[in-house]
């Protein structure tokens, strides 16, 4: 029998323990350190039941978009439009990355999981910013497409104690969330011809992932793996293969009838490089595909001629999550205009007096679509940017009313939405979209023709509620919160907050780094945080003009995680930025004809896919993991031109030799010495343009 003295002692100890917990919570001490190990949540404890059960709390950000709806909305409201003036930096953590960050963090039980280029993964303490562990999957970059894909990674997934990341050499790697050690890996596609830049998505005990390659003739598919073992569960091919070899499904047999042209199956296309949304209630995976466009390909397939609707490229597709069996599709591409599909979010709307479960998506083509989630039927389609290829979408047929191509020249430019996720607030009923749109004012010589725009769209009234113009065309994803706030970062390095109902800017901070990632929100120890990765990132910095994505200063800013909270007083870390001068190029000894030939070959042989159109790249010559801006080549690199371009002396660093290419899907033919000279002539010409522009007016900004 227990004595009164013993019970009194236990009561005192119990009161002491409870007092210690209360004190710890008050001062912000990690509760887990006071709780016995057996009571602590297992690292990476994400399950389907938990994601659904905790959807209304917002303390974690456990899956992409926070919930399976992919709405990128936080129900937290400690930070509001009325007190945001008190928002300050809680902590910052530098991430080792010469290629910035273009990623969506996942936050589970006080730990942030974040990916970086070359598929490196970090686990970070959410309350302090301390790195807990780091994982490097050792991605190969000595094969051209791997080099391209490896330089960007847009996110990861967490499920039942494991962290999942796709790699630039086309593997899916599972990492133990507690130790940071590899648990298993599985091949997703042929790592010799393409790679993965997008985030895996999870649900129903499976990991769903696609890969890149439509622009280089790779046949696309979505693949599901068992989350525990890495065993492939199913694969849904998005476009047909060679009919002589048979079809993997009835859906592909039907799709083959929509293709025409000689050996059309060699075009590939329809890759699933970004949008994947899992809905446990409907039992569906809804995903978007890219186009199948040999007319926009380069290299050895540039002259292929194909026609037809080319299903299921340029489509939104729904498949059974358990089996991968086709359910429905909706094509956003036109017969003469192929687009890429982007983020798909799910919402419950009342349309024409009827409650509907819908999928909302905004592709690159300038329209926003609202589809019935169960059937794929088109409910709405309206332009949200300037559109130069179609006048409207026929609501009955779902097909675009395409504008005829001009007899000479190209169609007017079309704006639209890229991969950066939009956000939907169930409180305001608005969709917040990060857009790029053609400028309406006359352009100065050399000026980039597009600008950025943050648009608030009402899907019920099918109209814009408000918009904010932005100077840089490429900016971050959008986060909306229950505090009547919308957060977005810009290519200028500014991170800003706007009122969700009116679009009034109420807070901003200059971070010193371009922002091309996904901001998220979470709560720990009773405090709401806003977390944003910064640093000029994404695959777009390789194949788009650098001047369209960031200012010269913001390009050079560091890769960091920045966490903000009310009353945060951490001094903002300095971003010591030096914009390098353009070195004096060698004397141009080549003819105008050779320069023009070089410009053609620079495009045809896909030099622009890593070094930017017109060699408008990173604004520096670097060898620290970033891809160099060829306008900034030092004299020694010009002397080693043949060894680099033809001989492959930098293959291990990701630059293959084009004098003897190993049969890539888009460049099989060998570059000759004359070809190399022509491209060199073009680079020297572009270098002189940048050098002269810099010296003509020393007070103006450096060339982008």
CATH number at 631 reads: 1.10.760.10
Please choose, from the candidates 319, 299, 106, 130, the residue with its C-alpha nearest in 3D space to the C-alpha of residue 208.
319
Q: Summarize pLDDT for 205-251 with one digit per residue, the tens.
A: 999 999 998 877 899 999 999 999 999 999 999 999 999 999 999 99
With cut-offs at 50, 70 and 90, classify the pLDDT of residue 119. very high
Phi-psi region of 416 (alpha: psi -120 to 50; beta: other; left: phi over 0): left
pLDDT at residue 484 tops 90: yes
Q: Which residue has the higher pLDDT, 310 or 406?
A: 310
Q: Which residue has the higher pLDDT, 27 or 654?
A: 654
Q: Mean pLDDT lowest for which of 396-405, 420-429, 599-608, 691-700?
A: 691-700
What sign has the CA pseudo-torsion 300, 302, 303, 306? positive
Q: How many residues does the structure list for the chain?
A: 704
Distance between CA atoms of 109 and 92, rounded to whole angstroms? 19
| Per-residue CA distances from 305 to 269, 295, 297, 668 (Å) | 14, 7, 11, 19
Asked whether 213 and 192 are in contact (CB, 8 A), the reply is no
Looking at the domain assignment, is residue 356 inside a domain?
yes
Looking at the domain assignment, is residue 579 inside a domain?
no
* Residue 45 CB burial class (10 angstroms; 0-12, 13-18, ≥19): middle
Provide the token pair at 449: 């023709």
Looking at the domain assignment, is residue 297 inside a domain?
yes
pLDDT at residue 1 tops 80: no
With cut-offs at 50, 70 and 90, classify the pLDDT of residue 25. very low
Distant-in-sequence contacts of 388-396, Cβ < 8 A, 24+ apart: 388/412, 388/413, 388/414, 389/334, 389/336, 389/337, 389/365, 389/414, 390/334, 390/337, 390/365, 393/367, 393/369
For the residues 351-365, what does the mean pLDDT come to? 97
| Per-residue model confidence (pLDDT) at position 111 | 98
Q: Summarize pLDDT for 178-190 with one digit per residue, the tens.
A: 999 999 999 999 9
For the residues 158-172, what does the mean pLDDT come to? 97
Looking at the domain assignment, is residue 54 inside a domain?
no
Q: Summarize pLDDT for 494-505 with one digit per residue, the tens.
A: 999 999 999 999
Name the helix (H) or strand (E) containing 251: helix 250-256
Q: How many domains does the chain have?
A: 3
| Per-residue CA distances from 205 to 10, 321, 448, 477, 556 (Å) | 44, 10, 45, 28, 41
Q: What radius of gyration do the chain's Cα atoms show?
A: 26
Q: Summarize pLDDT for 510-539 with one digit per residue, the tens.
A: 999 999 999 999 999 999 999 999 999 887
For the residues 245-265, what does the mean pLDDT come to? 96
Q: Across the strands, what pairs with 560?
A: 94, 534
- DSSP E strands in 308-422: the ranges are 315-320, 326-331, 344-351, 354-361, 367-372, 378-383, 390-393, 400-402, 416-417
Among 51-60, 208-217, 576-585, 654-663, the range with the most confident prediction by mean pLDDT is: 51-60
For the residues 678-703, what does the mean pLDDT come to? 83
Share of the chain above pLDDT 90, in %: 73
Provide the token pair at 491: 């290519």
Q: Which residue has the higher pLDDT, 19 or 253?
A: 253
pLDDT at residue 610 tops 90: no
Question: In sequence order, what are the residues at sequence separation of 6 or more whose Cβ sits closer than 8 angstroms to the Cβ of residue 275?
Answer: 287, 288, 341, 342, 343, 344, 361, 419
Strands 106-108 and 494-499: unpaired
Domain boundary among 418, 441, 463: 418
Distance between CA atoms of 279 and 203, rounded to whole angstroms? 8
- Tell me the angle at which helices 592-604 and 673-696 cross, rounded to the nearest 10 degrees: 100
| Per-residue model confidence (pLDDT) at position 296 | 61
Q: Summarize pLDDT for 328-350 with one digit per residue, the tens.
A: 999 999 998 999 999 999 999 99
pLDDT at residue 16 tops 50: no
For the residues 379-396, what does the mean pLDDT come to? 97
Provide the token pair at 627: 């891809």
| Per-residue model confidence (pLDDT) at position 625 | 67
Q: Across the strands, what pairs with 123?
A: 113, 133
* DSSP code string of 120-144: EEEEEETTT--EEEEE------SSH
Domain boundary among 403, 418, 433: 418
Share of the chain above pLDDT 70, in %: 90
Looking at the domain assignment, is residue 279 inside a domain?
yes
Looking at the domain assignment, is residue 189 inside a domain?
no
Asked whether 544 and 612 are in contact (CB, 8 A), the reply is yes
| Per-residue CA distances from 320 to 235, 283, 359, 512, 696 (Å) | 11, 6, 16, 45, 61
Phi-psi region of 641 (alpha: psi -120 to 50; beta: other; left: phi over 0): alpha
pLDDT at residue 15 tops 50: no
Q: Summarize pLDDT for 407-432 with one digit per residue, the tens.
A: 877 889 999 999 999 999 999 999 99
Question: In sequence order, what are the residues at sequence separation of 6 or more whose Cβ sits closer than 8 angstroms to the Cβ of residue 486?
Answer: 423, 425, 432, 454, 456, 478, 479, 480, 497, 498, 499, 500, 503
Name the helix (H) or strand (E) containing 494: strand 494-499
- How many helices and strands, by DSSP H and E, does the chain display? 11, 36
pLDDT at residue 376 tops 60: yes
Distance between CA atoms of 327 and 494, rounded to whole angstroms? 43
Looking at the domain assignment, is residue 623 inside a domain?
yes
Asked whether 471 and 488 are in contact (CB, 8 A), the reply is no
Q: Which residue has the higher pLDDT, 444 or 69?
A: 69
Question: In sequence order, what are the residues at sequence separation of 6 or more whose Cβ sits closer than 8 angstroms to the Cβ of residue 335?
Answer: 308, 309, 402
Cβ atoms < 10 Å from Cβ of 672 = 12
| Per-residue model confidence (pLDDT) at position 298 | 55
Looking at the domain assignment, is residue 545 inside a domain?
no
Please choose, from the candidates 473, 457, 383, the residue with its C-alpha nearest in 3D space to the C-alpha of residue 422.
457
Name the helix (H) or strand (E) containing 208: strand 206-209
Q: Summarize pLDDT for 631-652 with one digit per residue, the tens.
A: 999 999 999 999 999 988 888 8
pLDDT at residue 10 tops 60: no
Asked whether 64 and 155 are in contact (CB, 8 A), the reply is yes
Domain housing 641: 592-696
* DSSP code string of 49-108: HHHHHTTTT-S-B-STTSSTT---EE---SS-TTTGGGEEEEEEEE---TT----B-EEE
Q: Summarize pLDDT for 72-114 with one digit per residue, the tens.
A: 999 999 999 999 999 999 999 999 998 999 999 999 999 999 9
Q: Summarize pLDDT for 44-69 with one digit per residue, the tens.
A: 999 999 999 999 999 999 999 999 99
Q: Mean pLDDT lowest for which of 137-151, 216-230, 308-322, 357-371?
A: 137-151
């Amino acid at each position: 029998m227990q004595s009164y003295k013993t019970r009194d002692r236990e009561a005192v100890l119990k009161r002491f323990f409870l007092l210690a917990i209360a004190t710890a919570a008050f001062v912000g001490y990690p509760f887990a350190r006071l709780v016995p190990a057996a009571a602590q949540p297992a690292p990476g404890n994400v399950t389907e039941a938990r994601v659904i059960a905790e959807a209304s709390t917002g303390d974690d950000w456990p899956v992409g978009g926070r919930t399976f709806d992919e709405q990128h909305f936080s129900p937290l409201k400690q930070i509001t439009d009325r007190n945001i003036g008190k928002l300050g930096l809680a902590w910052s953590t530098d991430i080792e990355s010469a290629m910035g960050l273009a990623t969506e963090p996942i936050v589970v039980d006080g730990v942030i999981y974040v990916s970086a280029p070359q598929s490196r993964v970090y686990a970070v303490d959410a309350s302090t910013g301390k790195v807990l562990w780091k994982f490097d999957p050792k991605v190969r970059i000595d094969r051209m497409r791997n080099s391209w894909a490896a330089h960007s990674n847009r996110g990861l997934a967490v499920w039942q104690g494991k962290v999942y990341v796709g790699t630039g050499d086309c593997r899916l790697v599972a990492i133990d969330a507690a130790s940071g050690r590899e648990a298993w890996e599985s091949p997703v596609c042929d790592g010799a011809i393409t790679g993965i830049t997008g985030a895996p998505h999870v649900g129903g005990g499976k990991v769903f992932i696609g890969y890149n390659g439509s622009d280089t003739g790779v046949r696309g598919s979505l693949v599901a793996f068992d989350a525990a073992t890495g065993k492939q569960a199913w694969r849904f091919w998005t476009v047909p293969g060679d009919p002589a070899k048979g079809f993997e499904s009835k859906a592909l047999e039907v799709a083959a009838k929509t293709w025409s042209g000689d050996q059309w199956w060699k075009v590939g296309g329809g890759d699933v490089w970004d949008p994947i949304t899992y809905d446990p209630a409907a039992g569906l995976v809804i995903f978007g595909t890219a186009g199948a466009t040999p007319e926009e390909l380069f290299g050895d397939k540039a002259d292929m001629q194909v026609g037809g609707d080319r299903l299921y490229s340029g489509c939104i597709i729904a498949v059974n999550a358990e089996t991968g069996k086709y359910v429905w599709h909706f094509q956003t591409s036109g017969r003469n205009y192929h687009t890429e599909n982007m983020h798909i979010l799910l919402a419950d709307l009342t349309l024409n007096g009827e409650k509907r479960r819908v999928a909302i998506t905004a592709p690159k083509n300038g329209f926003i679509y609202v589809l019935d989630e169960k059937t794929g039927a088109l409910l709405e389609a309206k332009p949200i940017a300037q559109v130069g290829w179609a006048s409207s979408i026929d609501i009955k047929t779902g097909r675009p009313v395409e504008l005829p191509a001009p007899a000479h020249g190209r169609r007017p430019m079309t704006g639209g939405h890229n991969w950066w996720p939009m956000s939907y607030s169930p409180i305001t009923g608005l969709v917040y979209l990060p857009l790029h749109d053609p400028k309406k004012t006359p352009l100065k010589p050399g000026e980039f023709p597009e600008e950025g725009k943050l648009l608030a769209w009402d899907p019920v009234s099918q109209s814009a509620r408000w918009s904010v113009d932005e100077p840089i065309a490429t900016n971050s994803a959008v986060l909306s919160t229950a505090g009547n706030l919308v957060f977005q970062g810009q290519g200028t390095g500014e991170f800003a907050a706007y009122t969700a109902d009116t679009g009034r800017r109420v807070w901003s901070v200059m971070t010193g780094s371009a922002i091309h990632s996904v901001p998220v929100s979470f709560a720990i120890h009773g405090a709401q945080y806003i977390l944003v990765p910064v640093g000029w990132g994404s695959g777009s910095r390789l194949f788009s003009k650098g001047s369209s994505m960031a200012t010269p200063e913001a390009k050079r800013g560091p890769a960091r995680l920045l966490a903000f909270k009310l009353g945060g007083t951490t001094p903002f870390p300095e971003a010591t930025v030096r914009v390098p001068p353009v070195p004096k190029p060698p004397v141009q000894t080549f003819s105008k004809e050779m320069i023009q030939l070089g410009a053609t070959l620079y495009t045809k042989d896909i030099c622009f896919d890593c070094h930017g159109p017109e060699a408008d790249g990173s604004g520096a010559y670097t060898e620290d993991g970033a891809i160099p801006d060829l306008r900034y080549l030092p004299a020694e690199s010009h002397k080693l031109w043949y060894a680099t371009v033809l001989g492959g002396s930098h293959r291990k660093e990701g630059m293959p030799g084009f004098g003897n290419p190993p049969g890539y899907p888009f460049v099989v033919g060998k570059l000759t010495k004359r070809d190399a000279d022509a491209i060199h002539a073009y680079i020297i010409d572009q270098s002189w343009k940048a050098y002269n522009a810099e010296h003509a007016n020393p007070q103006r900004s450096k060339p982008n």
